[in-house]
């Protein structure tokens, strides 16, 4: 995946040379603007009065409650209980980088359209750079009386530079602002998750490469069915993960449209250029309908749905490895580095990371259900209910990233117990279907072949032996078509070697699959 260029104090805002808007850049090392002279005394006075350093902004929550930026028509302030209940800064401060990114693009567009002066734009951009540096240094104190990430940053900017900051909110609302931030954040999160998916794919292919030729029982209904190469089995998960990545890529393409400029719901009568800000932020285009722009949460539902499917796949992998690590199976031994012990039973060695992967899948699915329930029945356009969309998304992304990371770690730290697997392999008559194929090649209809092999298995059960242990006379007593060449089809290894259909577990087919993934994932 291409990495998404983000606005930061070291990143240029530059994509298309056709407009002077795209020639602006913000750089810590070589600033292209200076603070207007009228703003410098205000900033210095603020710092002096608060006794803070240039990289700090004092937003102490112990200050008296200040008037809201939206409070012009209100005569009373909200109660403490209402303020605590309605604030979102405790979690949406996660969006600070995207919020500053959007404000930079918006300020430059306003200046290009003549809605603010060039000096105001420079003033705003310098202030935003200062605030971003302050946040990243851990010096920014988030105030609950400023409600959310947007108002905290805007109020801090006003404290810092005064009147020019009040022009920044021209032709935008918190409704389109938060959706712009959220789409940018989700876009970046998708890119991070796709990287985690690739890492797990590489880990699984690496495990497959280390275990060439190892045959394991394949199961249906959790009953032994047919022999398969371990490599084939592991590549099944790699295929699932590839679809998971594809869903995220599709989701990313659909969410990559810009709400900025839709304002509260109806747009604006001011001459803004939404295509300018959309391009600057790396979006495909502005959203066509302003009502849809501020009320849509489809991209969130799709994102969490994709995460939930990933979680289900990882849970299935976790379940399998927990079983395989049990004494009953004994197929794998996790290293101590990915295992835990018991507080009371000193002999225990538990594959806890994969149990938690299995358990945390419920959490990711729950995040999706929360959003589905949240959005059900909401009228257009924006409703305050939608403030509740952030935490489930943040949780889903954090949880699925952790699940992918620890699954890859586990894959790189397990040992396949070849002797145990080979000793257990004969049980279950795994070559029965291959024996039916043998009869089909002899001209016997498949249903008749199925019946003949079924009776052969019944004979094995009565004799407590395997199909390959039956002599030719015993096989011929069931069907005269059997000949000496039948033994080329019996036994797990012979059975695996007979598979030849595209995508099957045959050695040549699996080698082709493995080569494909080694090349695609660029594994050395």
| Active site residue ranges | 221, 342
Peptide bond into 381 cis (omega under 30): yes
Give me the residues paired with residue 285 across strands: 257
- Nearest CA to 395 out of 422, 361, 372, 424 is that of 361
Distances (CA, A) of 112 to 42, 56, 254, 399, 409: 26, 30, 29, 42, 50
What element of type H or E holds 257?
Answer: strand 257-258
Q: How many helices (H) and strands (E) does the chain have?
A: 19, 6
Sign of torsion, CA 312 318 321 327?
Answer: negative
- Nearest CA to 5 out of 136, 101, 124 is that of 101
Residues 93 and 168 sit within 8 Å (Cβ to Cβ): no
Give me the residues paired with residue 333 across strands: 415
Give me the residues paired with residue 220 across strands: 223
What element of type H or E holds 219?
Answer: strand 215-220
- Residue 261 to residue 467: CA distance in whole angstroms: 73
- Residue 521 to residue 406: CA distance in whole angstroms: 19
Residues 359 and 376 sit within 8 Å (Cβ to Cβ): no
- Residue 433 to residue 453: CA distance in whole angstroms: 8
Distances (CA, A) of 82 to 67, 78, 86, 88: 15, 6, 6, 12
Distance from chain centroid for Cα 490: 45
Contacts 24+ apart (CB under 8 A), 2-9: 3/191, 4/187, 4/188, 4/191, 4/282, 5/282, 6/97, 6/98, 6/101, 6/184, 6/188, 7/100, 7/101, 7/104, 7/105, 7/281, 8/97, 8/101, 8/132, 9/129, 9/132, 9/133
Residue position matching structure tokens 């909401």? 378
Residues 338 and 413 sit within 8 Å (Cβ to Cβ): yes
Give me the residues paired with residue 216 across strands: 228
Distances (CA, A) of 248 to 3, 107, 241, 305: 14, 31, 11, 10
């Amino acid at each position: 995946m291409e990495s998404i260029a983000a606005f930061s104090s070291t990143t240029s805002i530059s994509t298309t040379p056709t407009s002077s808007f795209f020639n602006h850049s913000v750089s810590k090392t070589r600033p292209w603007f200076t603070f207007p002279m009228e703003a410098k005394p205000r900033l210095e006075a603020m710092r002096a009065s608060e006794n803070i350093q240039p990289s700090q902004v004092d937003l102490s929550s112990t200050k008296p409650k200040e008037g809201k930026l939206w409070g012009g028509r209100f005569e009373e302030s909200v109660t403490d209980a209402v303020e605590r209940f309605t604030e979102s800064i405790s979690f949406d401060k996660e969006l600070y980088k995207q919020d500053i990114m959007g404000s930079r693009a918006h300020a430059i567009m306003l200046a290009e359209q003549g809605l603010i002066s060039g000096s105001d734009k420079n003033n705003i951009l310098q202030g935003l750079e200062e605030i971003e540096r302050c946040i990243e240094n851990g010096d920014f104190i988030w105030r609950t009386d400023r409600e959310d990430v947007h108002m905290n940053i805007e109020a801090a900017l006003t404290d810092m530079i005064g009147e020019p900051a009040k022009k920044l909110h021209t032709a935008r609302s918190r409704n389109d602002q938060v959706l712009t931030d959220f789409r940018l954040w989700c876009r970046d999160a998708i890119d991070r998750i796709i990287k985690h998916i690739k890492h797990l794919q590489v880990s699984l292919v690496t495990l497959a490469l280390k275990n060439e030729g190892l045959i394991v029982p394949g199961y249906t209904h959790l009953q032994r069915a047919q022999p398969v190469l371990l490599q084939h089995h592991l590549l099944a998960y790699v295929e699932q993960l590839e679809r998971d990545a594809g869903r995220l890529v599709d989701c990313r393409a659909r969410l990559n449209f810009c709400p900025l400029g839709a304002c509260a719901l109806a747009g604006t009568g001011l001459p803004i250029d939404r295509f300018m800000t959309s391009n600057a932020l790396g979006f495909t285009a502005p959203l066509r309908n302003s009502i849809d722009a501020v009320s849509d949460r489809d991209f969130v539902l799709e994102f969490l749905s994709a995460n939930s499917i990933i979680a289900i796949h990882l849970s299935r992998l976790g379940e399998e490895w927990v079983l395989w690590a049990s004494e009953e199976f004994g197929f794998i031994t996790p290293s101590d580095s990915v295992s835990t012990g018991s507080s009371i039973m000193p002999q225990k060695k538990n594959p806890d990371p994969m149990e938690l992967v299995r358990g945390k899948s419920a959490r990711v699915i729950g995040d999706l259900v929360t959003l589905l329930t949240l959005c059900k029945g909401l009228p257009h356009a924006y409703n305050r209910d939608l403030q509740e969309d952030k935490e489930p998304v943040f949780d889903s992304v954090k949880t699925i990233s952790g699940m992918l990371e620890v699954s890859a770690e586990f894959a790189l730290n397990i040992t396949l117990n070849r002797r145990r697997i080979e000793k257990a392999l004969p049980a279950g008559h795994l070559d029965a279907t291959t024996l039916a194929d043998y009869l089909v090649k002899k001209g016997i209809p498949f249903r008749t072949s199925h019946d003949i092999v079924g009776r052969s298995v019944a004979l094995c059960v009565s004799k407590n032996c395997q199909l390959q242990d039956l002599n030719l006379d015993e096989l011929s007593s069931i069907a005269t078509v059997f000949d000496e060449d039948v033994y080329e089809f019996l036994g797990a290894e012979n059975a695996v070697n007979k598979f030849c259909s595209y995508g099957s577990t045959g050695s040549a087919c699996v080698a082709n699959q493995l080569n494909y993934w080694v090349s695609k994932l660029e594994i050395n």
